Amino acid sequence: MKNIIPIILLLVFVIIFTSTKSATVGSFQQFILVNDSNTPITQSFSLSNFTINWNASNLQLSIRNNGKILWQNLSNTGFIGAAIGDETITEQAGSFSIKDNIQNITTHQTVHQILATLDTIYIIGDIFLANDTIEYTLTFSLNQYGDLHFLLTTNNLNYNRLFLSYACNSSEQFFGLGEQQSHFNHKGNRVPIIVQEQGVGRGDVYSNNPIENFIVNLVLGNAVGDDYTSYKVAPHYISSNINSLYLENYEYSEFDFTKNNQVQIELFSTTMQGNIIYANTVYDVFKSYTNFCGRMNVLPDWISNGAIIGMQGGTQKFYNVWQTLNDADVPITAFWLQDWVGQRTSAVGKQLWWNWELDNQHYPNWNNIYDTLQQNNIQLMGYINPFLVRVNGEKPNFRRNQYAEARDNNYLALNHNGNIYQVQNTSFSSAILDLSNDDAIEWTKDIIKDELLARGLKGWMADFAEALPFEVELHSGESPSTFHNKYPEVWEKLNKDAINEVGLTDSIIFFSRAGYAQSPKYTTLFWQGDQIVGWGENDGLKSAVTGLLCAGLSGFTLNHSDIGGYTSIGVELLNVTFLKRSQELLRRWTEMAAFTPVFRTHEGLGPDKNYQVYQDDSTAQHFAKQAKIFQAWFFYRKQLMQEAQDYGYPICRHMFVEFPNDVNTYTISYQQYMVGKELLVAPILNPNTTKTSVYLPQGTWENLWTGEIINSTGQTITVTGLTDRAAVFFPQGSTIGNTFKQNLVSAGVY
């Protein structure tokens, strides 16, 4: 009987916590463009430097700028389609499954007329199937930034699925679409654009033990996600031909790159609008696109003074950790006390009380902590998210019942029956703020001012915002189908507005997990969410690099990850852990993070089960070295942050960005990356090795650590001896590289 109890508990856990896997719902649709008596003869129109040509001989519409083809349909192939869809969206714990019952897909298209005014070109025609004919209008005009804006509408609002199809080269590769953790290059894939939980594991193998993997997958169920579930998405791409297009819609969309010679966008809406960018370089795309999505501001200097130490556990543990790290000579810029609101134990590990006020029992003598840290030029940081939990009867020492306040003022999202919608998170439920309500936004800003800023917090994690359910009733009456992807932007804006309204714009930071297209306009910093404490390509150390580089293409320029990852896999009730952070993983993640915009640790979901930077002297000393390496390139990081603010350039850049004509860079995903134009970084991302392969594009490169000069014609070399560092190269003679080296010598880590 004793042996059966753990099995029963495990099955209960599976039933409670199984989430839903996000699925790509559509498939590529082919449309036929047909000629009829109304089809116009060959015509050409201009909007500034954009030229729109219609070729009647092969029924081809093309868009050029300075002779470069930016967009065209395949000859005699339809470029517009529509359908009637009825989607079923299921949600659990921030993961969404979309099943679409689609019918009446149009099969043919005609172009009846092309009209032009001084500032707009109108293409009018029909899309039809059988006896059903729909009139469409596709307009082109210049947006305020000089890009070519397009707007597609029809005269039948029952057709709530729109398709836009166009040609691409068979060799053309496609990058971007937000923070995609598994793929940098999307050619051959269909990419869903929906903000949601990224999933756990996402197809990676957790261990070499098949029984252990079976149990882990059983526990997780469909919560594993897939290779395109993502916290941050943007309907925007850059191609290897330096072509770029983005949508302005918030509704669910899919970008289909599965065809060698065509791209197709499917949108769950009756109106599609977006923009086509003309650019000669990737940097031109950055400048044009970030005119729309916004540019992130230079971070305050204090955040680069050293490491941000993420920890939880109360006052005494805080002092113990500080002493250990101080003894190891770790430069510390802040303590991020995630559990400043109090800590609770859930079925999966240590989590927080989502009632946003200081827990004086968990952190007694808070003012003494603050004063002591200030004397040492160290800041305090905290945590908040847009959920609230009931505290009555569960948390005895609460001062302010924010759930009750929000409930009584109708600030919480409701279900269709008019009751508060409850979102399940591990073993407890919570209510989500209705941020379509301006009064709820003002109330939440007051929480930030009165509870976070008034406690002296210099920053915080602004968590979640990806989980607004599709079946809620919103105060504004807006459809959740459009507000879901907008929700992260509203959440980030209210955090930023609260800071601005108290006059602390230049000194406070918050970091966001979820994001949509215009999130860079509102947040101060991003982080990559909950990677697993493993080495995986889909979820783990490698995926953190891929996501960092991919996100930078769509405006998420200041981004970083939890050092060591976050998600361990276990069942707290059974005291069983299947995956926990090793010392080696922690050290290698630290070495990679030293070359990202922010250097911040996290204890992870199971602090007592994961290896920590303060766990032993050798680990603390290794951590101190990486923190000093991070400090040593602050002078360059500040320059790069200014470029991000002025032009939208990412700090960490895929090799393609710097070497767009080198096709060898297209297949690089996570193995190496550029920091600005001057530093090439190749961290160790596999266990049990001290060497890595590095591709050096054509040029003369210097090895930072050895001084070796390599004249490369575009070749891969093997770098050895990497026991406690990432491989780093810079162009020979680089002032940045040599200054970095001098700073390392001065810090005693060279």
Q: What are the backbone dihedrals phi and psi of residue 32, each rounded to the nearest 5 degrees, phi first?
A: -100, 130
Query: Strand 95-103 to strand 332-337: parallel, antiparallel, or no bridges (unpaired)?
Result: unpaired
| Three-state DSSP state, 613 | coil
**353, 382 contact by CB (below 8 A):** no
CA separation for the pair 279, 277 (Å, rounded): 6
- Give residue-wise pLDDT tens across range 367-395: 999 999 999 999 999 999 999 999 988 88
Residue 11: pLDDT band (50, 70, 90) is very low
**466, 196 contact by CB (below 8 A):** yes
Average pLDDT in the chain = 93
3-state secondary structure 492-534: HHHHHHHHHHCCCCCCCEEEECCECCCHHHCCCEEECCCCECC
Q: Give me the pLDDT at residue 664, please.
A: 96
Give the rounded percent of residues in the chain with a pLDDT score beyond 90. 87
- Give residue-wise pLDDT tens across range 325-349: 999 999 999 999 999 999 987 776 6
> Which amino acid type is present at position 244?
S
- Give residue-wise pLDDT tens across range 287-318: 999 999 999 999 999 999 999 999 999 999 99
Look up the pTM and report it. Answer: 0.95
Q: Give me the pLDDT at residue 14, please.
A: 39
Longest dimension (CA), the chain: 84
Residue 487 C-beta-side C-alpha neighbours within 13 Å: 34
Residue 36: pLDDT band (50, 70, 90) is confident
